[in-house]
């Protein structure tokens, strides 16, 4: 038998459900249906990348992959919700989660049956054949029926269950729905694995809990067919990296890393850039940068900033990775010219205070010849384009094919630029990349990297 696979590849908390003084404890419930039948529920306690279940704004969560066995011709749906139980006593959270999963799994089949009955009324297809002959009608009916029932039926049901368990004294009740949705696998679909980012989810506001919970999720879905014959490896999809212009602030918020050096003994990435929503100014971003220039000598560049805003500006195109290195102790920016011999005449030595000054026109006998060694005026050494020029917008816009207009965050005091790019396959955005540019400074040479999202190995 084959299977349908759903992966929550990237879950980013833009704003948490709880107030600023407390963290979320989120649980994910995935209810699998094959045809009209509820097969099972996957309850998962979510954790951030550090393995901590106490979640805060800006956290990116560990990926979650769930699946259900099915035949290739089955209609499969995954109805899921994420619930915060951070205001419930820790000892009761598991029990509350179990009861939520039980109650929701009992209510959802009623909604699926309601959707099927609606198709029967409007099409005349017998109820027993709806999930066989009426796939094209029942699939959207399920989405509409379940979607409409979330706020009216499921969310109140979840709230009623949560109220049965103890709350933490002195903590606002910020428990409840964080997000919910449904993913449909039509028979024999998808033909190939799919990856997409859903519109940002925003939950309803709760009194005393600050900003409504806001979450960004990237999904992947796949149908694995049992005994699928081998027809060879299909050609890879056309892939390109293009600059983002006027993109979403949510696309910046992530932990971005460089690919680890395979020869490195540290096992960690050379560069980590963590970007989150700023807590100092609404609508802005905060960045934290760690660049391991040379692990052997513990040579590290640390930077970042707060209240940062992306702006579209021209930068030189990425032509390849430029790893930084430690500059030698003697590495002058200016180099002297040739040593030259200068000749001239020297007049009488000036007298001290109170002594009559020399006559305005000294006689030849008072002048003498002198020789001296001197260096010519120093000149700039090195080559290339000064990185400072990248921080200045040309008056005429992008004036050369060597430049791209791209959404950019600049930290001029540290010589740092962060640029956002997207990966497109067959014209569809499937992922993002962050370009990290740092100007040469007194300690390290210039760096230019493309960073990808942090993923657990």
pLDDT digits (tens, 9 = 90+) for 231-245: 666 777 788 999 999
313: number of Cβ within 10 Å: 21
pLDDT of 147: 72
Flag whether pLDDT at 346 surpasses 60. no
Q: What are phi and psi of 127, to 5 degrees?
A: -55, -35
Q: Look at 236 and 399; give whichever has higher pLDDT.
A: 236
pLDDT of 118: 72
Neighbour-count burial for 62-72, b at 16+ CB within 10 Å, e otherwise? eebebbbbbee
0.75 surpassed by pTM: no
- Give the pLDDT confidence of 123-182 residue by residue, as tens digits: 666 656 656 555 667 667 777 777 777 778 888 888 888 777 756 666 788 898 999 998
* Cα-based distances in Å from 414 to 270, 410, 436: 18, 9, 12
Angle between the N-to-C axes of helices 155-162 and 90-123, in degrees from 0 to 180, rounded to the nearest 10: 160
Q: Is 176 left (phi over 0), alpha (psi -120 to 50) or beta?
A: left
Q: Is 382 left (phi over 0), alpha (psi -120 to 50) or beta?
A: left
Alpha-carbon gap, residue 44 to 449, rounded angstroms:
35
Taking residues 52-81, what's their average pLDDT?
91
Q: Quick check: 174 and 19 in contact, CB under 8 A?
A: yes
pLDDT of 232: 66
Alpha-carbon gap, residue 48 to 55, rounded angstroms:
7
Taking residues 257-266, what's their average pLDDT?
63
In degrees, rounded to 5, the angle at the alpha carbon of residue 427 between the alpha carbons of residues 424 and 433 is: 15
Taking residues 394-410, what's their average pLDDT?
71
Taking residues 335-363, what's their average pLDDT?
52
Q: Look at 399 and 121; give whichever has higher pLDDT.
A: 121
Alpha-carbon gap, residue 425 to 254, rounded angstroms:
21
pLDDT of 311: 95
140: number of Cβ within 10 Å: 12
Q: Which of 204-213, 272-281, 364-373 is modeled with the greatest confidence?
A: 272-281
Q: What are phi and psi of 332, to 5 degrees?
A: -65, 145
Contacts of residue 426, Cβ cutoff 8 Å, sequence gap at least 6: 237, 238
pLDDT of 349: 47
Mean pLDDT computed over every residue of the chain: 80
Taking residues 106-120, what's their average pLDDT?
76
Contacts of residue 341, Cβ cutoff 8 Å, sequence gap at least 6: 371, 372, 373
* CA 336 and chain centroid, separation: 47
* CA 361 and chain centroid, separation: 78
Flag whether pLDDT at 269 surpasses 60. yes
Which stretches of 35-175 are assigned E, i.e. beta strand?
37-45, 60-61, 64-70, 76-84
Task: Identify the burial level of 74 via C-beta atoms within 10 angstroms of its C-beta, where 0-12 means exposed, 13-18 middle and 19 or more buried.
Answer: buried
Flag whether pLDDT at 359 surpasses 80. no
pLDDT of 406: 95
State the pairing for strand pair 214-224/2-15. antiparallel
pLDDT of 259: 77
Handedness of CA 51, 53, 55, 61 (dihedral sign): positive
Flag whether pLDDT at 354 surpasses 80. no
Q: What are phi and psi of 160, to 5 degrees?
A: -65, -40
In degrees, rounded to 5, the angle at the alpha carbon of residue 75 between the alpha carbons of residues 70 and 77 is: 90
Domain boundaries defined on the chain: 2-233, 249-328+382-453
Alpha-carbon gap, residue 350 to 348, rounded angstroms:
6
- Give the pLDDT confidence of 139-153 residue by residue, as tens digits: 677 777 777 777 788
- Selection from 110, 445, 453 nearest residue 272 by Cα: 453
pLDDT of 304: 95
- Give the pLDDT confidence of 1-36 residue by residue, as tens digits: 889 999 999 999 999 988 887 889 999 999 999 988
- Give the pLDDT confidence of 311-325 residue by residue, as tens digits: 999 999 998 899 999
Alpha-carbon gap, residue 317 to 244, rounded angstroms:
13
pLDDT of 89: 85
- Give the pLDDT confidence of 411-452 residue by residue, as tens digits: 999 999 999 999 998 888 889 999 999 999 989 999 999 999
């Amino acid at each position: 038998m084959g299977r349908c696979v759903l992966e929550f590849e990237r879950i980013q908390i833009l704003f948490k459900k709880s107030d600023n003084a407390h963290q979320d404890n989120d649980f994910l419930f995935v209810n699998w249906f094959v045809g009209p039948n509820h097969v099972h529920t996957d309850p998962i306690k979510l954790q951030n990348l550090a393995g901590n279940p106490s979640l805060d704004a800006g956290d990116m969560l560990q990926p979650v992959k769930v699946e259900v066995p099915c035949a290739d011709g089955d209609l499969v749906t995954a109805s899921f919700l994420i619930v915060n139980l951070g205001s419930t006593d820790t000892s009761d959270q598991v029990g509350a989660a179990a009861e939520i999963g039980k109650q929701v799994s009992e209510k959802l089949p009623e909604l699926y049956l309601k959707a099927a009955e609606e198709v029967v009324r409007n099409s005349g297809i017998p109820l027993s054949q709806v999930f066989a002959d009426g796939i094209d009608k029942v699939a959207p009916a399920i989405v509409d029926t379940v979607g409409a029932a979330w706020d009216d039926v499921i969310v109140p049901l979840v709230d009623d269950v949560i109220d049965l368990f103890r709350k933490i004294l002195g903590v606002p009740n910020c428990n409840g729905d964080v997000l919910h949705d449904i993913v449909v696998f039509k028979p024999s679909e998808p033909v190939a694995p799919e990856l997409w980012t859903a519109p940002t989810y925003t939950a309803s506001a709760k009194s005393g809990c600050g900003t409504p919970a806001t979450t960004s999720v990237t999904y992947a879905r796949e149908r694995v067919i049992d005994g699928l014959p081998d027809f060879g490896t299909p050609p890879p999809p056309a892939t390109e990296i293009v600059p983002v212009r006027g993109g979403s602030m949510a696309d910046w918020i992530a932990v971005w890393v460089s690919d680890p050096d395979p020869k490195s003994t540290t096992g960690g990435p050379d560069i980590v850039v963590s970007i989150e929503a700023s807590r100092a100014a609404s609508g802005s971003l905060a960045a934290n940068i760690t660049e391991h220039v040379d692990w052997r000598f513990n040579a590290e560049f640390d930077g970042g900033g707060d209240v940062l805003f992306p702006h579209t500006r021209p930068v030189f195109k990425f032509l390849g990775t430029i790893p930084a290195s430690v500059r030698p102790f003697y590495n002058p920016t200016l180099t002297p010219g040739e040593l030259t011999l200068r000749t001239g005449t020297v007049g009488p030595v000036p007298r001290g205070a109170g002594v009559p000054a020399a006559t305005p026109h000294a006689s030849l006998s008072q002048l003498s010849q002198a020789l001296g060694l001197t260096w010519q005026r120093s000149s700039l050494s090195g080559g290339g384009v000064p990185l400072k020029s990248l921080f200045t917008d040309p008056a005429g816009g992008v004036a050369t094919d060597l430049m791209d207009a791209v959404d950019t965050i600049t930290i001029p005091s540290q010589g740092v630029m962060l640029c956002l790019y997207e990966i497109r396959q067959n014209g569809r955005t499937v992922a993002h990349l962050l370009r990290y540019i740092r100007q040469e400074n007194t300690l390290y040479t210039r760096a230019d990297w493309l960073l990808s999202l942090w993923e657990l190995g």
